[in-house]
């Protein structure tokens, strides 16, 4: 693991993230947060539903832009360098399993490669994790076919690939059985203690997480309402120890016995006859037990249970601050204020500033200090401290050469492309129908309608038209539906959290689909040649005419899939669009024979130029018209890819 810096793993200053509600009201999902997460610690982030935890971690990952304030992760300013941060962070989203359509082993290996691991290292760590997580019997099974818990384990393993400096786990033990939950907590503790990995843990499972966390922040209404080590929080909130007592044969405590116990703690009746609950401060445990033994007497007691206060007790005892009425509609806040902006943050509660810079001696631990020694108990600040308004320490931004960037792009492209090609295994029948049989059926069917369609010119129109139909059907519809599915599963966030560019993601996606379209294009031309003995030249220009025809349609699919949220609606829109594309374009009949209105429409359809260019390629008429076709297709491809890149919701905002 390469350390980028020796400061805190996470530094959050005056962080605000506001959303507009449906009625125009301002919702502050995060409202003036300031804290640090020292390196090598497990930092628990607790809070009720809607408290703002997910918004906070998405900002740490550079997936949501702060409205104001700053976040530094591993010494890198997240707002300025969101892409750079991703190479140092591993993220386990709350929902949405990525790479679910490939095998578990591949999902781990590909994630490692996408995080920048070498081939050998990725393979080695994949094997280690399969062993550590007990995934051996399932490693070569498609992730989607595993049980919910096993899928979660694979997803957890993917988060560890590449040994990131900071790991963000959103509800890591959801769906896991007790054995695997314990396994996860053990691994979390080991990674922090042995490798010095910092772990930010969002969970509602406070009781279990207590064993793993070094420090905790409790959020409510976008603010931190309490922060400290579990011990400090127990002390600060006055959490009580509990003695549960069952008097023999369902009998009752005498008044004298109850009074003696009542002098030490609070005695209340239990939920069944003869049971009592005594709560007392943790330092009164000894006298409480003495009264139990000497005054009540063990022979009078059927059973008793004694529990020290847990972190869950602390969490439940914390009184959430009233959130207050939503603020009136106001002018939108600036997209991101520079860290040195003079504007003051909203007030922050006392405990929320416990982690302010300088509050924790271990933050300044010298280089080489082991995580274990750095993890000394944190002094709780009892005095309110104003939230700092100073800029965070300057961030280190390693420079990368063009060669290194191209190499990263190449690796990302390769593994994302592999993934897409493997996904096709699950929908091969659709590709067979649309890619191969549909163009063949069109050639065969159309050539039988009327006597005039069997001449060479008509057959070429039919062949090029059915080829373009294949591109439109598979390119637009399949891509739109796949992007829609990735979004609906919630896995887009996972891909966006990897250190890969959106361009690599889009190009790998489109390139994989283009390859699938190829058989449909070739079969329609071959059908004409074989069935009707028509001599085709098959000019090499087809090698760029086909991709140029497919790119605008693939990009269109990407835009539709990105903008529409309902998968069913995506299907309806894309099928209707394909219908319109074909209806308006002179693919199957010469343009001259179209009514004027349709002829005009066809001028704006890239499909018309694609079909025309295909015909020129197979007849060898590489003239001015062909050059115009190619030029229009090239412009449409560049423009539509640019629009698709913009439309793809890579970051949440």
Ligand X SMILES: Nc1ncnc2c1ncn2[C@@H]1O[C@H](COP(=O)(O)OP(=O)(O)OP(=O)(O)O)[C@@H](O)[C@H]1O
Which stretches of the chain bind ligand X, using CB under 6 A? 19, 27, 29, 47, 49-55
8 Å CB contact between 419 and 102 = yes
Residue 315 or 546 having the CB closest to ligand X = 315
User: Distance (Å, rounded) from C-alpha 397 to C-alpha 380?
Assistant: 33
Structure token pair of residue 475: 């390119």
Least CB distance from residue 4 to ligand X, whole Å? 27
Ramachandran category for residue 301: left, alpha or beta (phi over 0 → left; psi -120 to 50 → alpha)? beta
Residue 68 or 477 having the CB closest to ligand X = 68
Residue 169 or 601 having the CB closest to ligand X = 169
Residue 16 or 247 having the CB closest to ligand X = 16
Structure token pair of residue 259: 């009074």
Least CB distance from residue 560 to ligand X, whole Å? 21
Least CB distance from residue 438 to ligand X, whole Å? 40
Residue 19 or 428 having the CB closest to ligand X = 19
8 Å CB contact between 218 and 46 = yes
H/E run at residue 316:
helix 311-317
User: Distance (Å, rounded) from C-alpha 611 to C-alpha 622?
Assistant: 14
Least CB distance from residue 65 to ligand X, whole Å? 12
Residue 295 or 489 having the CB closest to ligand X = 489
Residue 54 or 126 having the CB closest to ligand X = 54
Residue 322 or 624 having the CB closest to ligand X = 322
Residue 57 or 486 having the CB closest to ligand X = 57
Structure token pair of residue 310: 């847990």
Least CB distance from residue 79 to ligand X, whole Å? 18
Angle 614-616-619 from CA coordinates, rounded to 5°: 110
8 Å CB contact between 203 and 44 = yes
Give the 3-state secondary structure of residue 164. Answer: coil
Least CB distance from residue 324 to ligand X, whole Å? 13
Least CB distance from residue 311 to ligand X, whole Å? 17
Structure token pair of residue 520: 């449909």
User: Distance (Å, rounded) from C-alpha 530 to C-alpha 524?
Assistant: 10
Query: Which among 392, 36, 39, 15 has a CA at the least distance from the CA of 227?
Result: 36
Least CB distance from residue 388 to ligand X, whole Å? 24
User: Distance (Å, rounded) from C-alpha 143 to C-alpha 146?
Assistant: 5
Least CB distance from residue 153 to ligand X, whole Å? 21
Please enumerate, as own/partner, the contacts of 576-581 that have beta carbons within 8 Å and a separation of 24 or more: 577/476, 578/469, 578/472, 578/473, 578/476, 578/477, 581/472, 581/553, 581/605, 581/607
Residue position matching structure tokens 């079969």: 523
Find all residues with CB under 8 Å of 206, minimum gap 6, and list them.
Answer: 44, 46, 310, 311, 312, 315
């Amino acid at each position: 693991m390469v350390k980028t810096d020796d400061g805190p793993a996470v530094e959050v200053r005056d962080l605000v993230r506001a959303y507009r509600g449906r009625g125009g009201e301002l919702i502050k999902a995060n409202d003036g947060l300031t804290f640090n997460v020292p390196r090598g610690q497990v930092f628990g982030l607790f809070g009720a539903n809607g408290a703002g935890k997910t918004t906070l971690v998405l900002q740490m990952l550079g997936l949501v832009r702060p409205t104001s304030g700053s976040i530094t992760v591993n010494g890198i300013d997240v707002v300025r360098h969101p892409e750079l941060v991703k190479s140092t962070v591993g993220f386990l989203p709350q929902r949405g399993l990525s790479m679910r359509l490939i095998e578990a082993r591949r999902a781990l290996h590909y994630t490692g490669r996408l995080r920048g691991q070498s081939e050998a290292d990725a393979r080695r760590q994949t094997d280690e994790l399969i062993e550590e997580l007990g995934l051996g019997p399932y490693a070569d099974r498609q992730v989607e076919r595993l049980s919910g818990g096993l899928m979660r384990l694979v997803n957890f393993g993917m988060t560890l690939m590449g040994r990131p400096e900071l790991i963000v786990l959103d509800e890591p033990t959801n769906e896991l059985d007790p054995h695997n939950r314990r396994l996860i907590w053990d691994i979390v503790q080991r990674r922090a203690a042995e490798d010095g990995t910092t772990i930010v843990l969002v969970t509602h499972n406070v009781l279990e997480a207590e064993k793993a966390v070094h420090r905790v922040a409790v959020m409510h209404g976008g603010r931190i309402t309490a922060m400290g080590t579990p011990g400090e929080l127990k002390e600060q909130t006055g959490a009580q120890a509990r003695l549960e007592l069952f008097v023999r044969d369902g009998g009752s405590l005498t008044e004298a016995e109850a009074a003696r116990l009542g002098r030490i703690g609070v005695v209340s009746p239990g939920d069944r006859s003869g049971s009592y609950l005594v709560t007392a401060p943790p330092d009164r445990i000894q006298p409480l037990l003495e009264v139990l033994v000497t005054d009540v007497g063990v022979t009078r007691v059927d059973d008793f249970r004694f529990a020290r206060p847990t972190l869950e007790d602390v969490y439940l005892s914390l009184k959430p601050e009233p959130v207050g009425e939503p603020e009136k509609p106001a002018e939108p806040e600036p997209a991101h204020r520079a860290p040195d902006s003079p504007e003051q943050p909203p007030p922050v509660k006392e405990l929320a500033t416990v982690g302010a810079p300088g509050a924790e001696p271990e933050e300044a631990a010298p280089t080489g200090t082991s995580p274990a020694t750095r993890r000394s108990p944190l002094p709780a600040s009892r005095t309110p401290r104003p939230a700092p308004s100073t800029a965070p320490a300057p961030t280190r931004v390693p420079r990368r050469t063009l060669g290194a960037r191209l190499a990263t792009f190449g690796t990302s492209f390769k593994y994302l492309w592999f993934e897409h090609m493997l996904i096709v295994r699950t929908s091969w029948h659709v590709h067979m129908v649309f890619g191969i049989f549909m163009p063949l059926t069109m050639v065969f069917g159309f050539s039988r309608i009327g006597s005039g369609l069997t001449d060479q010119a008509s057959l070429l129109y039919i062949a090029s038209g059915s080829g373009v139909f294949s591109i439109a059907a598979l390119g637009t519809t399949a891509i739109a539906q796949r992007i829609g599915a990735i979004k609906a599963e919630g896995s887009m966030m996972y891909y966006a959290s990897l250190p890969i560019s959106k361009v690599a993601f889009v190009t790998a996606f489109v390139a994989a689909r283009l390859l699938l379209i190829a058989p449909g294009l070739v079969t329609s031309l071959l059908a004409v040649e074989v069935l009707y003995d028509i001599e085709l030249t098959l000019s090499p220009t087809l090698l760029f005419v086909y991709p140029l025809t497919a790119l605008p349609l693939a990009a269109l699919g990407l835009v539709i899939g990105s903008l529409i949220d309902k998968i069913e609606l995506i299907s309806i829109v894309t099928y209707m669009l394909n219908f319109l594309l074909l209806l308006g374009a002179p693919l199957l009949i010469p343009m001259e024979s179209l009514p004027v209105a349709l002829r005009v429409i066809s001028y704006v359809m890239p499909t018309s130029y694609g079909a025309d260019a295909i015909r020129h390629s197979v007849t060898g008429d590489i003239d001015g018209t062909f050059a115009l076709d190619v030029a229009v297709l090239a412009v449409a491809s560049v423009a539509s890819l640019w629009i698709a890149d913009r439309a793809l919701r890579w970051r949440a905002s």
